[in-house]
Amino acid sequence: MRRPKPKKSIGPKHRRISEAEEIELLDAWIEAGKPDSGSNPLAFPPPPPSAPVGRLADGGFSPYAGCKLFRQLPISQKTKDGLRPKYTEMSEIQRASLPHTLSGRDVLGAAKTGSGKTLAFIIPVIERLYRARWGPEDGVGCIIISPTKELAGQLFEELKFVGKHHSLSAGLLIGGRKDVDAEKERVNYLNLLVCTPGRLLQHMNETPNFECSDLQILVLDEADRILDAGFKYEVDAIISQLPKHRQTLLFSATQTKSVKDLARLSLKDPEYISVHSESLTATPERLKQIAMEVPLDQKLSMLWSFIKTHLHSKILVFLSTCKQVKFVYETFKKLRPGIPLKCLHGRMKQVVRMAIYSEFCEKTSVLFSTDVASRGLDFPAVDWVVQVDCPEDIPAYIHRVGRTARFASEGKSVLFLLPSELEMFRKLQAVETKIPIQLRKANTQRLQSISGLLSSLLVKYPALTELAKATFKTYLRSIKKQKDKEVFDLLKLPIDDFAASLGLPMTPKVRFMQQKASDKIASDSDEATDLREANGSRPASGEKQILDRSQEEEDDDVLFPKETSVEVEDNPAVVLPLKNPKKKKMKINVHRPIGTRIKYDDEGNVIPPLAALADSENLNLLVKPDKVKERYEKLKEEMKQRDKEDKVLNRQRLREKRTKEKMKLKRWREEDEEDDDPDLDEAENGAPKKSKLYFDSDDSADEKREDVNLKTDAISLAEQEALALKLLNSMHS
Ligand SMILES: Nc1ncnc2c1ncn2[C@@H]1O[C@H](COP(=O)(O)OP(=O)(O)OP(=O)(O)O)[C@@H](O)[C@H]1O
């Protein structure tokens, strides 16, 4: 613990002395009453409210482990003044963790959503710097990292609220703000930083003299999210630049217990404080939860009907992609449901996002959102959380429903599940997950179908048709990307009905669906071929082409669908075009074994060797039928082999081409580019995208993006050269 140093800033003399005295008293008080490591302060008897607080007449100190009121804690008067009158009594997580955090220990705090974890780390942060008499010249003393910009903003507001009587300086560092240069000037004078991982790393890398070498305390809010794969690059880079000797606090409703994660953070004998582990439910007790089976093509009608019957409620609706959020928002707005609508997703400008966030805090309305709003956000008085799309896993479910029934309030949530997603209900209902959810039948009598209305809207507004197509594709893509294949199965989706429900006259072509369906057919036909081979019969002619197609179409870019036509239905019956016969001939010619004669038909076309063998004239010339068979088998083998090689090369070529096209498009069409992930905010999961994550939307960011793009071009050129060389080799072999 740093000792108080003489205050350098100007101020009245009596105040300086009283501060020093207060700090001395607080240090002694904390030391005298700190709970044993590993003990749970909730188990201590709380002192009565009327008991004296602080230094007692006998020279000792009042106990604080187990106390219920903020004023009974060994914290500064300024913090107590900041807390009053809004906060007087502590919540369980605050009671359990504050005695440990104030004593300077590392803490992993787990408590239900809306249970007051924010104050549980904001108070020790302020107090630690106050007691160390931190000033502007000391630089960064505390860093609070949040996974999303909105949550960072909310934490910053809470920090300002509680710390309003302190003279510490704090800054909000989040991507999407244009004033990065001004921020760089200031950042060295800030004591407390509330930031998203990307922006913090940007400062660490770019801001001259940016210093965290004296960091006292690091906080990860939504720690499990920050430590997951999506932020790995940033977090590892950040941690490597922080001093190991510091206090570290990790908080989340779904806390990590991974030793690997904790090792990454170099925690020292951390206290694991999980206040609701004994609770019967993992979600807030005042939260009523239901799940409903809703077919994919009825989801929007169901949502519409739900909104129409809850016009006086504040409703938060989760969808999985930005495009879906946009589509639902735009179309529903035009259909005028009779309640204000808003939307929030990671592709919106930061100022707009912040404005929407504040508006939803204040007004009764419906907010359509991606998972950008699923964690940490404290919207007051949300009546309903509606999950139109299934969450990726149980923690995601817990965080989403946790936007309602916060602290002492009540709330309700409904989860729409496709018939193919009912496994998620079973997982949620499992005893160990402790989620009291019930499956209800949807009342289809009250269902108001809107697919016809959507069709008319799409006719009237052509831009909406494009949005509907993108919605269709990105939704399917989001399902494809889900890890839990027990729940998410692309091939079980009624995609034609889904397209129709969005108002689309035709089902858009999606190449990865084609791939999936082909894979399925391929595996089915593999089985069939095995059977036939066992019976000694030849494969049917169409099968081979389906298999070829499936291998060629591995890349699944939804932005540039090819001309190939695919129809996938409930029972996938795939219609695939024949392969380009020209290509086939080329391949045979290039790899023609030396000495093989080329045969021509009457019109001068080359007769493929197999056809030539089957030619009746030639058949007469052949010596023995078993020789024909042998020759046939040999040629078949050779062709198979060469086909294989060609396909590999072809795939590589295709990938190269698409990567280049994508990079180009990415630069040109920032607004309309595809949603690769459900949402592309810093909050989102999946592997970090170098050009996106930490250079966000600042001016400097564009320059960086250029760098990244140039780099990618250089790589692809090198790869192209290697590919050309490979091609040449294969031609000469
Ligand atoms: N001791 C308290 N007394 C009264 N209200 C409180 C107290 N602590 C927190 N609150 C209020 O409870 C609400 C939820 O708190 P907070 O956002 O910190 O929850 P959380 O546990 O961090 O939730 P999440 O897991 O969703 O991030 C806030 O509105 C906050 O102001």
Q: What is the pLDDT of residues 136-171, one digit of tens each?
A: 889 899 999 999 999 999 999 999 999 999 999 999
Weakest mean pLDDT among 5-19, 407-421, 435-449, 603-617: 603-617
pLDDT confidence bin for 277, thresholds 50/70/90: confident
How many domains does the chain divide into?
Answer: 3
Cβ(109) – ligand 1 distance below 6 Å: no
Q: Is 666 a domain residue?
A: no
Domain co-membership, 129 together with 31:
yes
Q: What is the CATH number of the domain that holds 209?
A: 3.40.50.300
Of the candidates 348, 393, 339, the residue with the CA atom closest to the CA atom of residue 369: 348
How far apart are alpha carbons 377 and 148 in whole angstroms?
9
Both 408 and 522 in one domain: the answer is no
Q: Domain limits at 523?
A: 509-534+551-575
In a domain? residue 302: yes
Residues 419, 446 share a domain: yes
Could you tell me if the CB of 119 is within 6 A of ligand 1? yes
Residue whose CA lies nearest to ligand 1 atom number 10: 116
**What is the overall mean pLDDT for the chain?**
78
pTM score, whole prediction: 0.72
Please indicate whether residue 379, judged by its CB atom, sits closer than 6 Å to ligand 1. Answer: no
Q: Using pLDDT thresholds of 50, 70 and 90, give the confidence band for residue 173.
A: very high
Q: Region 649-654: what's the mean pLDDT?
A: 83
407 Cα–ligand 1 center, Å:
6
Atom of ligand 1 nearest to the CA of 252: 25
Q: State the pLDDT at residue 644.
A: 83
pLDDT tops 90 at residue 247: yes
> Is 118's C-beta closer than 6 angstroms to any atom of ligand 1?
yes
pLDDT at residue 636 greater than cutoff 60: yes
Overall average pLDDT of the 451-468 stretch: 96
Query: Mean of the pLDDT values across residues 371-392?
Result: 97
Last residue of a domain, one of 245, 274, 303: 274
Give pLDDT, residue 654.
81
Q: Is residue 150 part of a domain?
A: yes
Kindly give the distance from the C-alpha atom of residue 428 to the centroid of ligand 1, in angstroms, as a whole number.
25
Atom of ligand 1 nearest to the CA of 407: 12
Distance CA 591, CA 602 (A): 24
Ligand 1 pocket residue status of 113, Cβ below 6 Å: yes
Please check whether residues 192 and 301 belong to one and the same domain: no
The ligand 1 atom at the shortest distance from the C-alpha of residue 90 is 1
- The verdict on 240 and 356 lying in the same domain is no
Sheet of 107-110, strand order? 170-173, 192-195, 142-145, 217-221, 247-252, 107-110, 271-274
- Residue 681 pLDDT: 43
Could you tell me if the CB of 395 is within 6 A of ligand 1?
no
CA–CA dist 467, 1 (Å, integer)? 57
Amino acid present at 311 = L
Query: Quick one: pLDDT band at residue 657, thresholds 50, 70, 90?
Result: confident
Indicate if 269 and 302 belong to the same structural domain. Answer: no
The verdict on 439 and 562 lying in the same domain is no
Is residue 59 in a domain?
Answer: yes
Answer yes or no: is pLDDT of 604 > 90.
no
Region at 201 (left for phi over 0; alpha for psi -120 to 50; beta for the rest): alpha
87 CB within 6 A, ligand 1 = yes
How is residue 517 annotated by DSSP? H
Shared-domain flag, residues 328 and 354? yes
When pLDDT is averaged across residues 212-226 and rounded to a whole number, the result is 96
Confidence of residue 596 (pLDDT cuts 50, 70, 90): very low
Task: Tell me the DSSP string of 436-464.
Answer: -EEEE---GGG----HHHHHHHHHH-HHH
Per DSSP bridges, beta strands 599-600 and 606-607 are antiparallel
User: Is 158 found in the same domain as 192?
Assistant: yes
Is 302 in the same domain as 202?
A: no
Structural domain contains residue 368: yes
Q: With pLDDT > 70 as the criterion, what percentage of the chain qualifies?
A: 72
pLDDT score at 177: 67
* Mean per-residue pLDDT, 265-288: 91
- End-of-domain residue from the set 274, 297, 325: 274
Q: What is the pLDDT of residue 582?
A: 39
Confidence (pLDDT) at 510: 86
Residue with the bigger pLDDT between 522 and 622: it is 522
User: In this predicted structure, what is the pLDDT of residue 659?
Assistant: 78
How would residue 511 be classed by pLDDT, with cut points 50, 70 and 90? confident
Q: Hey, what's the torsion of the CAs at 119, 124, 130, 136, to 10 degrees?
A: -80
pLDDT mean over 620-643: 70
In a domain, 689, yes or no: no
Is 66 inside any structural domain? yes
Q: How far apart are CA 627 and CA 296, in angstroms?
A: 57
Helix (H, G, I), strand (E, B) or coil at 575: coil
- Residue 521: pLDDT band with limits 50, 70, 90: low
For 24-50, give the secondary structure using H, E and C. HHHHHHHHHHCCCCCCCHHHCCCCCCC
Beta strands 170-173 and 217-221 are: unpaired
Residue 420 inside a domain? The answer is yes
Q: What is the pLDDT of residue 180?
A: 82
Beta bridge partners of 366: 315, 341
DSSP, res 373: G
CA distance 8 to 618: 104
